[in-house]
Structure 1
């Protein structure tokens, strides 16, 4: 494991057993998170983003879920081998998570202040008075007004944006080394979104925290991320820096994502270009490239063999048969932001 990497996920496979069979939700995912950087994981709903993050936190319910194989190396320690008792010492203290829906993630029977002090007392061994003072500081840090009085209120007293800020305060209270933010701005208006993203960036700099940002909002990615991993049907199909993914994408699925982003410079006659078709059934995943059934550039080999990952540059990699020397030349569409070329 590289000393620069805080986290390395290697060939991760996660499945869920259902009445209809085994759903292969994550199928050989690989990525790294360096110290102090933000990695965005993007893709359609159901592509495996949240399952991957829950696997890192050790929150996959077993059964019906199961990590079938692979490694999750956090500072060189394989979290897949940790017991529940060992993971309890990691969660909150070293790795924290902002969940997708704060209303269902916050405990409605506990005050917001108590939900922050609980972790401080457990992981940092603070006394009640000291933990309360620290909790007030965290609420103030995430921009909640009158934090002293808000400490004694319950989640239903908070607005949606304030609940999300409270979740961030809980997650960052113990200064974790890694923060996983699963759709942290879902269902929030754009003004509150911007405030929360700015706050996360500020806290990242202040606390030197690495972030995994899970989202389908490419605008959020452009504002906050350093590197991007594009997931489709349980696999990472392309990775690169934000500039590489937005200006020089190489995978047809990434082209499709970029083409479906609303843009102000489109004329009234131009419309968004949705990706035709539907994702594959992960009860019976395809043998070849998972995007082959929806790809206008698909060749015969795409449907029978999964392409190997090709290194485009130091950080930029993609899994696509179009990168093979014997593949036909293809000019990518230029509707996506940046308008770069292959």
Structure 2
């Protein structure tokens, strides 16, 4: 299938009083039409910065895309003006943010907030936009949409507000939908409903989804491919089955080991010791080396090359070098039947 979105050697920095924070370093990713890609990792790994770079939503005065290209249908988004990006945001690429209460304007009815994008990007009349907004509320599972379209965000529960945010994101039939921690602020039952809704909507609309999350359970339920991010870099990519059942990077092992499993309720969860690297002065070698129990001197001194495990599975780790010692993943990282 043809890639609808490609990130090639993307580097993003923030300029602070303490110095330059190199938040994203040499990221390469692609997204095919209609597929779902999850980007996972700890807080501070660069997931949200990567997604906001695609949308060009980073603050202009304090951040910059220093290098690389972000190709959407062959157009480099980093070269577009703000006015050109405004035509793409919400229309062809949309974003769902993690907190629905702060994503919605409390002074406007939800109907007006859905209609706003429709009238701007699709030139619909007020009545046409209202009818489309009602259909969108119905599509995302909000009962009595003809009445609720006139209500304000505070009159909706957290789960219903997130459904409204999804309706706004889907209003103009975007080709790419970026969901940044879409279920973080919701309880477990509502999380499951929102994930079912997103899976169902993707099947109906064919929209490609980038899911930003630290929750591996969410990944297993929604995504076809996974990119594991650490220290501003991509350390492993592959299909969901490859990353869950045949992980190759020690950081991925650590993430999987820290995931609760149904058959191990009485066991203590594993934790990755140490802290993420300081990106004011990023390490010259593998960013995970300082926390990796298998690190060698070469890991500290040199950034590893990306190794092809299969045609779809790639890992940046010196342990895959033929000269490295043979290391097996810890038992806790073997997902087995946990999915």
TM over 0.5: yes
- Does structure 1 residue 287 correspond to structure 2 residue 263? no
Secondary structure in 2 matching 1:133: helix
- Does structure 1 residue 264 correspond to structure 2 residue 254? no
Contact 2:3 2:73 survives alignment (8 Å): yes
Q: CA deviation at 1:298?
A: 0.1
1:148 pairs, out of 132, 137, 146, with 146
Q: CA deviation at 1:336?
A: 2.4
- Does structure 1 residue 31 correspond to structure 2 residue 4? no
Deviations 1:47-89 (A, max 9, x none): 0000000000010111101110110000000000010000000
- Does structure 1 residue 209 correspond to structure 2 residue 204? no
Deviations 1:16-41 (A, max 9, x none): 01111111110111110000100000
Equivalences, count: 337
Deviations 1:246-287 (A, max 9, x none): 00000000000000001121152x211100000010000000
2:240 pairs, out of 223, 237, 242, with 242
Structure-1 residue corresponding to 2:329: 332
2:298 pairs, out of 282, 298, 301, with 301
Structure-2 residue corresponding to 1:114: 112
- Does structure 1 residue 320 correspond to structure 2 residue 317? yes
CA distance in 2, matches of 1:159, 1:61: 31
1:86 pairs, out of 74, 84, 87, with 84
CA distance in 1, matches of 2:331, 2:92: 42
Counterparts in 2 of 1:107-256, with a 5 A limit? 107-256=105-254
CA distance in 1, matches of 2:80, 2:98: 25
CA distance in 1, matches of 2:116, 2:27: 34
Q: CA deviation at 1:92?
A: 0.8
Contact 2:36 2:210 survives alignment (8 Å): yes
CA distance in 2, matches of 1:339, 1:289: 28
Normalising to structure 1: TM-score of the pair?
0.97
Q: CA deviation at 1:209?
A: 0.3
Q: CA deviation at 1:291?
A: 0.1
Superposed structure 1 runs of 4+ greater than 3 Å apart:
none
CA distance in 2, matches of 1:184, 1:255: 24
Structure-2 residue corresponding to 1:53: 51
Q: CA deviation at 1:101?
A: 1.1
Query: Greater shift after overlay, 28-37 or 142-151?
Result: 142-151
Counterparts in 2 of 1:94-113, with a 5 A limit? 94-113=92-111
Q: CA deviation at 1:102?
A: 1.2
Deviations 1:283-323 (A, max 9, x none): 00000000000000000010010000000001100000001
Secondary structure in 2 matching 1:335: helix
Normalising to structure 2: TM-score of the pair?
0.98
CA distance in 1, matches of 2:307, 2:313: 9
Structure-2 residue corresponding to 1:273: 270
CA distance in 2, matches of 1:164, 1:44: 23
Structure 2: gaps (5+ residues): none
Query: Greater shift after overlay, 170-179 or 150-159?
Result: 150-159
Secondary structure in 2 matching 1:303: helix
CA distance in 2, matches of 1:267, 1:100: 29
Structure-2 residue corresponding to 1:5: 3
Q: CA deviation at 1:221?
A: 0.3
Contact 2:98 2:185 survives alignment (8 Å): no
